[in-house]
Amino acid sequence: MPDAVTTMAVLVGEPFLLRPDEIGRLTDWQIQQLYCAKRKKDGTVIQQAVEPKRQTMEQAKLKYFAMGAGLGISREKLEAAWRAKHGG
């Protein structure tokens, strides 16, 4: 977050035109997430999409086998189930 004076200067200017007492009631969260949200030229907010963490097939297989072993399923059964679902 920029220094306090810069932030205040932005908020009292166009397009916000907030009074100092109105700024006084704002939290950093409100300033950063609402007033300073990244926008397109037309003013619409750019959605900050959260990319789900992707895992490789190898990582998924390791997790699957670890979970299966934890549940007491034999390696053979797990291999067969994995092949049936994903092939190979």
Partner 1 sequence: MSMGNVTAEPILAVVEGKEYKVGLITQAAKGQLERICEKRAREAVLAGKDQLTDEEFKLAYSSFLDKVASGDFAYGGPTFRRWIDSGLGTLAMVQVLFGVGADEAERLVTQGPAEVSAALRSVFAASFPQAPAAS
Which spans of this chain sit near partner 1 (rule: CB under 8 A)?
A: 4, 8, 23-30, 32-34, 53
Closer Cβ to partner 1, 27 or 44, answer by number: 27
Peptide bond into 52 cis (omega under 30): no
Q: Provide, rounded to whole angstroms, the least separation between the CB of residue 29 and partner 1.
A: 5
Closer Cβ to partner 1, 4 or 9, answer by number: 4
Closer Cβ to partner 1, 8 or 65, answer by number: 8
35-64: burial string, b at 16+ Cβ within 10 Å, e else: eeeeeeeeeeeeeeeeeeeeeeeeeebeee
